[in-house]
Structure 1
Amino acid sequence: MADAKTRHALVVDDDPLILMDASAILDDAGFSCHEAGTGAEAIAFLEVNHRAVTLLFSDVEMPGDINGFGLARHVDRHWPHIEIVIASGRIKPEAGELPDKATFIGKPFSARTVHEHLRGTMPEEKQPEPLRHAG
């Protein structure tokens, strides 16, 4: 994870098919993806690799003690340089559940929806080249 030009994303979802799909969508956008199945796995990964990660893309409902909203707050508090996108098809965040800079996207989502969301919400300097020049 040493290449400074590479943009890394951490994708977190307990559903293997959604995890695979979201990773493929972000890979197509130019991110190098890393995966976790729970909030605890995500935090463990970030404790070691946070400097290289540009984007957290997480589901809300996951097993364990920390859901996607809690993960977003933890990441915002400890690693504020990481952009945060939270996704769910069942739960929408209420006021105060997400950090101010975190954004929300509904499931199911398409590659186009995710790419447009990222282009519209991420600072351009944090976007991988393929994402910046797509669409």
Structure 2
Amino acid sequence: MEDEVIERMAAVELLEVAGYDAVDVCNAADAVCALENIDNIRVVITDIDLRSGFDGIVLAACVDRRWPGVGIIMTSGRIEPMPGDVPSRACFLRKPYARARMLDAVRGIIAQDA
């Protein structure tokens, strides 16, 4: 989940072109709602610096606690996560990141479950 509309649209397009189904949400509350209602979500991508609601660090902790089988990719161009902010099944990508790096991270998380 990305709070910048253009970046979020680009990430969704990247994932869909790569053959993944993507659920586009604009805030952490909607991400939690999607996780509660859609059974096959395998990866959550979130910016750390979200403008509305709780931030990506809180979202990542929530996902890690409630849905331990869901991988997490955290991104930011402004905030460097502190030790303990990134859950064990999560990874951090500094913005701007290469599109291939994002896909590699998604594939790596999904491969862990295979």
Answer whether TM exceeds 0.5 for this pair: yes
Match of 1:30 in 2: 19
Checking the alignment, whether the CA contact within 8 Å between 2:44 and 2:70 is kept in structure 1 is yes
Structure having the larger proportion of residues in strand: 1
Secondary structure of 1:36's counterpart equals: coil
Match of 1:44 in 2: 33
Deviation, structure 1 residue 110: 2.4
The reply on whether 1:54 has 2:39 as its aligned counterpart is: no
Deviation per residue, 1:59-116 (Å, 9 max, x gap): 1111233111110100010011111101111111110112111100111122212123
> Sequence identity, in percent?
28
TM-score (norm 1): 0.76
Secondary structure of 2:51's counterpart equals: coil
Deviation, structure 1 residue 45: 1.6
The reply on whether 1:14 has 2:22 as its aligned counterpart is: no
Q: Could you tell me how far apart the structure 1 residues matched to 2:92 and 2:68 are?
A: 17
TM-score (norm 2): 0.89
Paired letter, 1:124: A
1:1-135 equivalence runs, <5 A:
12-49=1-38, 51-119=39-107, 121-124=108-111, 126=113
Deviation, structure 1 residue 26: 1.4
Deviation, structure 1 residue 56: 0.3
Checking the alignment, whether the CA contact within 8 Å between 1:85 and 1:104 is kept in structure 2 is yes
Name the Cα RMSD after superposition. Answer: 1.7
Size of the alignment, in residue pairs?
114
Checking the alignment, whether the CA contact within 8 Å between 2:71 and 2:90 is kept in structure 1 is yes
- Stretches of structure 2 that go unaligned for 5 or more consecutive residues are none
Q: Could you tell me how far apart the structure 2 residues matched to 1:27 and 1:126 are?
A: 20
Paired letter, 2:86: L
